[in-house]
Structure 1
Amino acid sequence: MNNKALIIFTRNPELGKVKTRLAKTIGDEKTLEIYKELLLHTRNETQHIDCDKFLFYDTTIVENDIWSTEYFNKVLQAPGDLGNKMQAAFDSLFQKEYNHCVVVGSDLFDLKASIIENAFKALQNNDAVVGPAEDGGYYLLGLNQSTPAVFNNKEWGTATVFNATMNDLKNVKVQLLETLNDIDTFEDLERSGYNINFKEQLL
């Protein structure tokens, strides 16, 4: 068994249920199209990383989708807020005796396999690794053991999350990765350089 586990959190790609802040600007259909491209990008970047990979769906496990069971173990997210979901995911894999666990979302065109590989390398000599997001959150978190504090008492989806998380990790050795832009709003999408014609949608 590989001692490294990658956790990928994803939302089931359903119209009107993904990236609602982005959808307020460009509409549900364009937003779903973009989210599906984000999922495809995430799959392509993670599929061949040397680790065991666990895809956590938010509502329903889908057997025949872009995530092949040849590469991805399919799991359902636990109930509760994002912190509860992530803690349950990490704890389930530490209980399976993985030594290094990393979680990423599925909303970054900037995500690269090399970034995740560097996170696993960092966990060889650090207690935790964090990839800050431009919006004040984080796009990646890696741990070597269950650390409940980082998942509790957070205002998820706000600019306070990264700083609050770093405060929880102040007594352990932490490696920071490069800051990336995750896609939550139209402004995020513009900064990403994503090439799409919004003119018709916005008129």
Structure 2
Amino acid sequence: MSEKRCILLFVKYPAKGKVKSRLADDLSEETAICLYRSFVDDILRTLKECGYPFTVWFSPPDANEKISQWLGEGNVYVPQRGHDLGEKIKHAFLQTFSQGFTQVLLIGSDLPDLSCSILRDAFEFDHVNAVIGPSFDGGYYLIGFRHDTFSEEIFDNMHWSTDGVFRETMARLRRKGYLVHVLPERRDIDRAEDLRDFAERNRDSDFAHSETMRYLRAHQKTLFPEVNTP
């Protein structure tokens, strides 16, 4: 069977105090907002290059006009619905599967150098029940299901934004007897030290000319002068 694939990108409108709070604590509110905008711009560029259908799920749900002004009119925007992240994730998956998609991935906006090769690898889960990409901080940067393996209970009563999210998610998947395709572990950008690591690993990579790297080069002296980002 030919699979109908879709990627769900979760974003927040970058209002003051609403995005990258830990990065704002380490650097500044203005810097955190500028970086977040760059992260999302880079992820959208990658999604368009990969060629998979994708939708942008935004928060808060009344920010449709602001999101469109920020990211442009050419994308499909859908408001996130639910009282917590788990409810929002469930709603997004269920709505997308109801539209006839058979393989769906969900990604966040903390990993701007997520590549097409990772996404292609993530979609290779015909013979397993789910796919997940763990992050160094104990969460995950990607999760995906087939239409016949999606389970709402995986996301119920989860302690989000803790270092046990990936571990607990894997435990729930295994209790259901699921085979899981685990992607390479990656480092989200939540703190200044993550940003330093990101700048170093992408200094000579294909991502060196991204919006995020351009911002880092332009503000290197004020952000972290010890990092060489030519």
TM-score, normalisation: structure 2: 0.80
Structure (1 or 2) with the greater helix fraction:
2
Offset at 1:2? 7.0
Q: Secondary structure, in 3 states, of the residue corresponding to 1:9?
A: strand
State the alpha-carbon separation in 2 of the partners of residues 92 and 26 from structure 1. 38
Offset at 1:65? 2.9
Q: CA RMSD in A?
A: 2.1
Match of 2:188?
Answer: 182
Given that residues 122 and 183 in structure 2 are in contact (C-alpha distance below 8 angstroms), is that contact kept between their aligned partners in structure 1?
Answer: yes
1:91 maps to 2:94: yes
Name the CA shift for 1:17/1:31 in 2 (closer, same or farther; >3 Å).
same
Offset at 1:135? 0.3
State the alpha-carbon separation in 2 of the partners of residues 29 and 157 from structure 1. 22
Aligned ranges 1:53-132 → 2 under 5 Å: 53-59=54-60, 60-61=63-64, 62-69=67-74, 72-121=75-124, 123-132=125-134
| Structure 2 residues not aligned, in runs of 5+ | 200-212, 225-230
The equivalent position to 2:162 in structure 1, one of 154, 158, 163, is 158
Given that residues 103 and 144 in structure 2 are in contact (C-alpha distance below 8 angstroms), is that contact kept between their aligned partners in structure 1?
Answer: yes
Q: What residue identity is the alignment partner of 1:192?
A: F
Given that residues 10 and 56 in structure 1 are in contact (C-alpha distance below 8 angstroms), is that contact kept between their aligned partners in structure 2?
Answer: yes
Offset at 1:91? 0.6
1:45 maps to 2:46: yes
Given that residues 129 and 143 in structure 1 are in contact (C-alpha distance below 8 angstroms), is that contact kept between their aligned partners in structure 2?
Answer: yes
Structure 1 stretch displaced more, 24-33 or 191-200:
191-200
Aligned ranges 1:24-39 → 2 under 5 Å: 24-39=25-40
Match of 2:5?
Answer: 4
Identical residues among aligned pairs (%): 29
Q: What residue identity is the alignment partner of 1:65?
A: W
Aligned length: 199
Deviations 1:53-88 (A, max 9, x none): 11001111232333452xx31100012111111011
Offset at 1:199? 4.0
Q: Secondary structure, in 3 states, of the residue corresponding to 1:65?
A: helix
Larger Rg: 2
Offset at 1:13? 1.7
State the alpha-carbon separation in 1 of the partners of residues 59 and 52 from structure 2. 22
TM-score, normalisation: structure 1: 0.90
Offset at 1:188? 1.7
| Structure 1 residues not aligned, in runs of 5+ | none
